[in-house]
C-alpha cells in the first residue's frame, strides 16, 4: 500500500474532532457540522487528488491513469467499483451502502488539447510543448466529490443511516461524449438525486433552465472515387467537393435559423494530396440550440443538406454521432437546500498570495482593472425567464433522467480564457485546493440533507415529475445503436503519455505538485524553474 492510499484510509479511521473545527463553520449543527469539519480535516487528500489529476493531463476517453488512481482510492475506502460502464473503457461506477436514498456524485475528468501549462506561474510556460493540460479545471471536481463522500460515509456507517453513495466520472465532457450514453444504458435508474460538481469562480448553484444550449455533435463521412487529379480527373468523384458544398449550403442556411442557435464545424478529413481526387472526406459539426426541439429541427436540416451535397457531387454519405447534450434543467428543491449550505460554508479565506496571483493572471489576460478572487457569494441563480445562448454540457442528459443540480465551486480565477492554457494556471495551486474544500463541504452537507430529511427526496421527485417533465419529455439525440466515440484522442495520448509520465505528481516525495516542480508560488516573473 502506498502512502497516499494509507493516508486516505487513516483520515477515515481517525476519530474526528469537531470542537474547534466546528466553530469555524458556523450555521451548521449536528451531523452536518461534523461532516463539514471532517471535510476540513481532509485538505491534504483534496490537494493530492487535484494535483495528481492535474499531472496526468488526460484527454477525453483516454482517462486511464485518472481511472486507476481514483478507483484504487475508492476501493481502499470500501467502495465497490465497476470499470468500463456503458461500453466506455475509461469510465467507472463506484458505490457504497444500502437502500435509499441513492445519491450519485458526478464530475468531469478530461483535459483540453494543447493546454499544457506550468501551474502557479503567471506567464505562458507549457510543461510539455503541444501536450494536453487541464485548461478547463476538470482535475478538481472528483476531489470535491470523493472527500465529501468519505466524510458522509463515515457518519452513515456509525449512525447506521440507510442510503447509497455512488461516484461516477464525466468522461470526455469536452466532446459531450458520454452522459447521454450513461442515461441510455440505464445507469441512473433507481438513483434519487445527482449532485454534480463543476469548477467555477464562485460558490453557487442554479435551478430551472440554465444558460446555454444543448447540441448534437455529428460527423458526416463522404465516399467518392479516387482518380489522377491531372491525368483523368473526369473519372473521379470528389468527397471533398461534397464537404465544401455541404458547408456552403449550411452557411447560406444560417441566415434563416433562429438567432440563438450556434453551429460550427471542422473538416476532419480533407483528402491526402492535391493530385489525387479525394475518395474520402469528412466534416464534423456541432449543432447547438436552446431547446431540444430546436436542436432536432436544425439537425434534420443539416441531414438534408448532407444528402443534397452527396447528390450534387455524386458521392455517398454516412453520419456518425460523436456527442450529444440536452439543454440543462436543474432541480429546484435540491438547489434551494444546497444554497442554504453554500451560505453557511461561504467562500474560502484567500491569502494575499492567492489574490496577487489571481490579479497577475487577469492582467496577463488583458484586464486593466483586475478584481482578483471572489470575496462575496454570487447567490442562487433561478430559472431563466428568457433563454440565453452559449455553450453546452452533457449533464443535461442526466438532469432529464433524475433530479440533478450542479454546484460550481471557486477553484479557478475569473477573467481568463476558457478551454485554454490560462485556465490551467491556478488549477494546482492553493486557489484550486481551497475552492475544492469549500465545494466538498457544501456537497457533504447537501448529501446529509438528502439522507436525513423526511421530505427533500420526495419534493425533488415532485418537481421533476410535475414541473420539469410535465410538458416536455426527454427524447435522446442518440439512438439505441450509436456507439460512444471511444477511439478519440487515442493518437494524441499515445504521443504525449510517455512524456507526461515523467512529470506525474509523487505525493510520497513532495508535499505539493508546486514543490515537486520547484515553483515558488506565486511566481510572477519568468525565471528558470528548478525542477526538484
Ligand atoms: Zn467543464
Sign of the dihedral through C-alpha 442, 375, 138, 38: negative
Computed from CA positions of residues 457, 462, 463, 464, in that sequence, does the dihedral angle turn out positive or negative?
positive
Res. 251: pLDDT tops 60: yes
Q: How many Å lie between the centroid of ligand 1 and the Cα of residue 477?
A: 20
Q: Given pLDDT bands bounded at 50, 70 and 90, which one contains residue 527? A: confident
Residue 231 has pLDDT above 60, yes or no: yes
All three cell numbers of 393, joined, read 454540457
Q: Compute the distance from residue 172 Cα to the ligand 1 centre, in Å.
A: 10
Tens-place pLDDT, residues 144-185: 999 999 999 999 999 999 999 999 999 999 999 999 999 999
User: Is residue 2's pLDDT more than 80?
Assistant: no
Please report, for residues 99, 105, 275, 297, 451, the alpha-carbon distance to residue 102 in angstroms, rounded to integers and kept in the order given.
7, 10, 60, 36, 9
| Mean per-residue pLDDT over the chain, rounded | 95
Q: Provide the percentage of residues in the chain whose pLDDT is more than 90.
A: 93
The per-residue pLDDT for 531 is 60
**Is the model's pLDDT at 338 over the cut of 80?**
yes
pLDDT above 80 (res 10): no
112 C-alpha to ligand 1 centroid (Å): 10
Quickly count: other Cβ atoms within 10 Å of residue 158's Cβ: 12
C-alpha 418 to ligand 1 mean position (Å): 9
Q: What is the pLDDT of residues 102-146, one digit of tens each?
A: 999 999 999 999 999 999 999 999 999 999 999 999 999 999 999
Residue 276 CA to ligand 1 centre (angstroms): 41
Over residues 260-311, the pLDDT tens digits come to 999 999 999 999 999 999 999 999 999 999 999 999 999 999 999 999 999 9
Q: How many CB atoms lie within 10 A of CB 17?
A: 12
Distance 194 CA to ligand 1 centre (A): 17
- Tell me the average pLDDT across 202-212: 97
pLDDT tens digits for range 390-448: 999 999 999 999 999 999 999 999 999 999 999 999 999 999 999 999 999 999 999 99
Cα angle 405-407-409, degrees, rounded to a multiple of 5: 175
Q: How many angstroms separate the Cα of 354 from the Cα of each of 254, 301, 504?
A: 45, 49, 24
How many CB atoms neighbour CB 80 within 10 A?
12
Centre of ligand 1 to C-alpha 91, Å, is 16
pLDDT band at 526 (very low <50, low <70, confident <90, very high): confident
In the numeric block, which cell numbers belong to residue 220? 458526416
Cα of 460 to ligand 1 centre, how many Å? Answer: 25
* Amino acid 313: pLDDT: 98
Q: Given this model, what pLDDT does residue 13 score?
A: 47
Closest CA to 346 of 314, 319, 320, 379: 379
What span, in angstroms and rounded, lies between the C-alpha atoms of 290 and 212? 6
Instruction: Report how far ligand 1's centroid is from the alpha carbon of 136 (Å).
Output: 6
Q: What is the pLDDT of residues 11-67, one digit of tens each?
A: 444 444 444 444 444 589 999 999 999 999 999 999 999 999 999 999 999 999 999
How much distance in Å is there from the Cα of 453 to the middle of ligand 1? 31
Separation of CA 146 and ligand 1 centre (Å): 18
* Distance (Å) from CA 300 to ligand 1 centroid: 28
CA of 174 from ligand 1 middle (Å) equals 7
Query: How far, in Å, from the CA of 252 to the mean position of ligand 1?
Result: 31
Residue 169 pairs with which residues in a beta bridge?
107
Rounded distance from Cα 288 to ligand 1 centre (Å): 17
The answer for residues whose C-beta is within 8 angstroms of residue 10's C-beta and 6 or more apart is none
Distance 427 CA to ligand 1 centre (A): 13
CA of 83 to the centre of ligand 1 (A): 22
Strand partners, 197: 407
176 Cα to the center of ligand 1, angstroms? 10
How many angstroms is it from 211 CA to the middle of ligand 1? 14
**Lowest pLDDT segment from 76-85, 272-281, 520-529:** 520-529
Q: Which helix (H) or strand (E) holds 496?
A: helix 490-501
Cα of 327 from ligand 1 centre, angstroms: 15
**140 Cα–ligand 1 center, Å:** 11
Cα(198) to centroid(ligand 1), Å:
6
| pLDDT for residue 529 | 64
pLDDT tens, 323-333? 999 999 999 99
- Measure 189 CA to ligand 1 centroid, in angstroms: 24
Measured in angstroms, how far is the CA atom of residue 108 from the centroid of ligand 1? Answer: 7
Amino acid at each position: 500500500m502506498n502512502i497516499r492510499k494509507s493516508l486516505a484510509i487513516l483520515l477515515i479511521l481517525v476519530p474526528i474532532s469537531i470542537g474547534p473545527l466546528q466553530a469555524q463553520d458556523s450555521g451548521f449543527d449536528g451531523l452536518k457540522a461534523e461532516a463539514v469539519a471532517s471535510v476540513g480535516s481532509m485538505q491534504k487528500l483534496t490537494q493530492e487528488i487535484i494535483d495528481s489529476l492535474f499531472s496526468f493531463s488526460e484527454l477525453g476517453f483516454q482517462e486511464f491513469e485518472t481511472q486507476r488512481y481514483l478507483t484504487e482510492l475508492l476501493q481502499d475506502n470500501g467502495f465497490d467499483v465497476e470499470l468500463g460502464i456503458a461500453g466506455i473503457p475509461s469510465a467507472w461506477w463506484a458505490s457504497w451502502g444500502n437502500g435509499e436514498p441513492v445519491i450519485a456524485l458526478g464530475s468531469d475528468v478530461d483535459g483540453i488539447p494543447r493546454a499544457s501549462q506550468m501551474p502557479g506561474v503567471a506567464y505562458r510556460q507549457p510543461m510539455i510543448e503541444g501536450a494536453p493540460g487541464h485548461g478547463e479545471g476538470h482535475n478538481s471536481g472528483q476531489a470535491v466529490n470523493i472527500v465529501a463522500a468519505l466524510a458522509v460515509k463515515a457518519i452513515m456507517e456509525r449512525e447506521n443511516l440507510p442510503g447509497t453513495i455512488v461516484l461516477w466520472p464525466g468522461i470526455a465532457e469536452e466532446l459531450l461524449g458520454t452522459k447521454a450514453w450513461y442515461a441510455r444504458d440505464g445507469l441512473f435508474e433507481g438513483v434519487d438525486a445527482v449532485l454534480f460538481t463543476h469548477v467555477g469562480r464562485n460558490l453557487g448553484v442554479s435551478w430551472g433552465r440554465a444558460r446555454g444550449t444543448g447540441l448534437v455533435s455529428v460527423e458526416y463521412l463522404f465516399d467518392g472515387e479516387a482518380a489522377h487529379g491531372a491525368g483523368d480527373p473526369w473519372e473521379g468523384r470528389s468527397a471533398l467537393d461534397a464537404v465544401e458544398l455541404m458547408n456552403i449550403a449550411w452557411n447560406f442556411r444560417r441566415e434563416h435559423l433562429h438567432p440563438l442557435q450556434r453551429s460550427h464545424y471542422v473538416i476532419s478529413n480533407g483528402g491526402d494530396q492535391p493530385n489525387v481526387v479525394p475518395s474520402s472526406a469528412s466534416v464534423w459539426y456541432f449543432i447547438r440550440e436552446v431547446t431540444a426541439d430546436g436542436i432536432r429541427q436544425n439537425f434534420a436540416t443539416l441531414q438534408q443538406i448532407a444528402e443534397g451535397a452527396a447528390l450534387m457531387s455524386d458521392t455517398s454519405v454516412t453520419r456518425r454521432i460523436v456527442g450529444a447534450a440536452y439543454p440543462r434543467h436543474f432541480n429546484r428543491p435540491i438547489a434551494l437546500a444546497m444554497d442554504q449550505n453554500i451560505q453557511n460554508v461561504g467562500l474560502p479565506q484567500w491569502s494575499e498570495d492567492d489574490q496577487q496571483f489571481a490579479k497577475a493572471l487577469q492582467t496577463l489576460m488583458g484586464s486593466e482593472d483586475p478584481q482578483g478572487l471572489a470575496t462575496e457569494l454570487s447567490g442562487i441563480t433561478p430559472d431563466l425567464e428568457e433563454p440565453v445562448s452559449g455553450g453546452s454540457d452533457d449533464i443535461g442528459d442526466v438532469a432529464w433522467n433524475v433530479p440533478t443540480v450542479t454546484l460550481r465551486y471557486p477553484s479557478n480565477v475569473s477573467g481568463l480564457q476558457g478551454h485554454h492554457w490560462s485556465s490551467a494556471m491556478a488549477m494546482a495551486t492553493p486557489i484550486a485546493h481551497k475552492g475544492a474544500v469549500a465545494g466538498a463541504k457544501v456537497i457533504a452537507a447537501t448529501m446529509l440533507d438528502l439522507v436525513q430529511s423526511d421530505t427533500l427526496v420526495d419534493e425533488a421527485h415532485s418537481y421533476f415529475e410535475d414541473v420539469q417533465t410535465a410538458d416536455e419529455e426527454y427524447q435522446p439525440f442518440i439512438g439505441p445503436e450509436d456507439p460512444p466515440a471511444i477511439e478519440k484522442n487515442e493518437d494524441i495520448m499515445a504521443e504525449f503519455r510517455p512524456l507526461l509520465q515523467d512529470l506525474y505528481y509523487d505525493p510520497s516525495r513532495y508535499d505539493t505538485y508546486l514543490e515537486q516542480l520547484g515553483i515558488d508560488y506565486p511566481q510572477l516573473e519568468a525565471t528558470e524553474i528548478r525542477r526538484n
